[in-house]
Structure 1
Amino acid sequence: MEAAMTTQRTHHVTTADGVTIGGTVHGHGRPLVFLHGGIGDGDLDWGRLLGHLTGRFTCHLPSMRGRGLSGDHPDLSPGRQVDDILAYVDSIGRPTGLVGWSAGANLALGAAARSDAVDAVALVEPAMRGQMDEQEQALIGRAVARMGELAAEGDFTAAVRAFAGGPFNDEEIAAAEDAGYFEATGRYVPHLLNLLRQVMAYEGPTAEDPAVLSTISAPVLVLHGSDTRPFYPAGARHVAGHIPHARVGEIPGAGHAAPLTHPEALATTLAEFFGAPRRSG
């Protein structure tokens, strides 16, 4: 396993609007593309899983435009980000599995709905606004507002910590704090605020729409933690209820931040799912 970890390289693709999307690549085997959440980037969000997967899979960890190894662009709309993912997947040249966490899970759904090159999808707690009740929407709204206030004061580490107080539970906040996750991701706060504004203004089809979900023919595994916010299991059931070949799974003891706090359990589940024989045709 240690030998596999030394095989890191990078992969880049240029999108139709001229943005370079880059990611680190680790291991050998069936290709999997990991899509990070709204807070971090490919390496920060998924690096803890690599030691459990690189012996069997080629793990691509691209970052969205404006993060990590990728170039920036004013257009951060969901539709454009899905275009970026499709360009990256197509450049691999082989049937590819997608793994997405939180906002990245939504993008994975959008890509799977538009690409035959995606042959299986695993989602870790997709963010489905329509599955939140008023109290839950208010919780997230307060977290976003506090992030904006702290960002305006120039304290980006505190700002991203405040935002994480929406999706993360208290134990996850402490674990992420101890691991230096907020300090590492604080630099993305201005980008995240811009991203959220564009997501809220977006009027195109979204991954929450049954009409989009019903077009996905690939097998889909939707995962949620056993100790997460109630709207994430609700979102998982919503997704699975509209995709023909989908099922829901639970990660015991995890909240929203399973890639950070439960990487071995998550990696084991992903290896079982993506290692299973795929349907042909």
Structure 2
Amino acid sequence: MKTQRTHYVTTTDGVTIGGTVHGRGRPLVFLHGGIGDGDIDWNRLLEHLTGRFTCHLPSVRGRGLSGDHPDLGPSRQVDDVLAYLDSIGGPAGLVGWSAGANLALGAAARSDAVDAVVLVEPPMRGLMDEREQAVIGDAVARMGELAAEGHLTAAVRAFASGPFNDEEMAVAEDAGYFEATARYVPHLLNMLQQVVAYAGPTAEDPAVLGAISAPVLVLHGSDTMPFYHASARHVAGHIPNAQVREISGAGHAAPLTHPETLAKTFAEFFVAARLAS
């Protein structure tokens, strides 16, 4: 029986948010990172999950199957996630990686339809030290320079070199990750500008985190930048029912380098959360 299909919802401002859907069982909605889209970032985990879960892989506006729109602000993107969740009906688990983890936090704070959440290295920008700010800032600046010269694959590679360690860069290179995501560089630059300019509530705010009643698992790699460790502790420290777990040997790009470990961790957490509810 074919289990892959597509699902679409139209947001209140007329944008179509689309995602591929795989498997059968309890619904899980996966939110991708800043570089890729739903399929590119999560496809390595599917074979380990689709026998037990219905895996929704939506993309943010301007990526994957979703339509584009000038408004890429954090609040608008959280609204998109909520529209997608509402459209599938019933409670769902929510998974987010990096920028997608922050969207998952924003959605979980505002929706009773989210009954459990897994976050893979949510980035709390306010917790970066000066060195980390410089590393990420230089990576973004170099991406912009290369994009202006028309070198999009080199541009996304330059950006990834900020949060990814050397081993992860090699894995991503071998997997064709940079070639696959290069087309999103202009969109990523636009989105980052809007994130920096945004002045509303963010996933870093204790009030947002404190509004989340669902059980939450925050994952970070053992070989990642220190601020991701601090981010995990910050998030878990402000959510009533949250726990932190370390993925041994992983850095920021665990969905690319440790898909089987992540999938096993996801499955165990979501099954236990359902049994406890």
In the superposition, the TM-score normalised over structure 2's length comes to 0.99
In the alignment, what sits opposite 1:150?
Answer: 146
| Alignment of structure 1 residues 90-169 onto 2, 5 Å | 90-169=86-165
Q: Select the residue among 41, 46, 50 that pairs with 2:46.
A: 50
Residue matched to 2:250: 254
**C-alpha separation between the residues in 1 aligned to 2:158 and 2:37?**
18
Question: Shift of the alpha carbon at 1:80?
Answer: 0.1
1:204 matches 2:200: yes
- The match for 2:61 is 65
1:68-107 superposed Cα distances (whole Å, 9 cap, x missing partner): 0000000000000000000000111110000000000000
Provide the rounded CA distance (Å) in 2 between the counterparts of 1:130 and 1:97. Answer: 27
Displacement of 1:215 after TM fit? Answer: 0.6
1:266 to 2:262 alignment: yes
Aligned to 1:235, what secondary structure does the other structure show? helix
Equivalences, count: 276
* Deviation of 1:21 (Å): 0.1
> RMSD value over aligned CA atoms?
0.8
AA aligned to 1:19 is V
Q: Which runs of 5+ in 2 are unaligned?
A: none
Match of 1:183 among 179, 185, 195: 179
What is the identity, as a one-letter code, of the residue corresponding to 1:275?
A: V
Residues 178-210 of structure 1: per-residue CA shift (max 9 Å, x gap) = 110000000000000000000000011000000
Which residue is 1:241 aligned to? 237
Deviations 1:45-86 (A, max 9, x none): 000000000000000000000000000000000000000000
**Partner SS for 1:247:** strand
What is the SS of the residue equivalent to 1:154? coil
Query: How big is each residue's C-alpha offset from its partner over 1:139-186, in whole Å with a ceiling of 9 and x where there is no partner?
Result: 000000000000000000000000001110011011101110000000
3-state SS of paired residue (1:276): helix
- Shift of residue 277 of structure 1? 4.2
For each residue in 1:16-66, what CA deviation from the matched residue of structure 2 results, as whole angstroms up to 9, or x when unmatched? 000000000000000000000000000000000000000000000000000
Of 15, 34, 57, the match for 1:38: 34
- Name the CA distance, whole Å, in 2 between partners of 1:88 and 1:253: 33
1:183 & 1:128 partners in 2: Cα distance?
28
Q: Which moved more, 1:268-277 or 1:25-34?
A: 268-277
Given the alignment, which residue of 65, 79, 82 partners 1:83?
Answer: 79
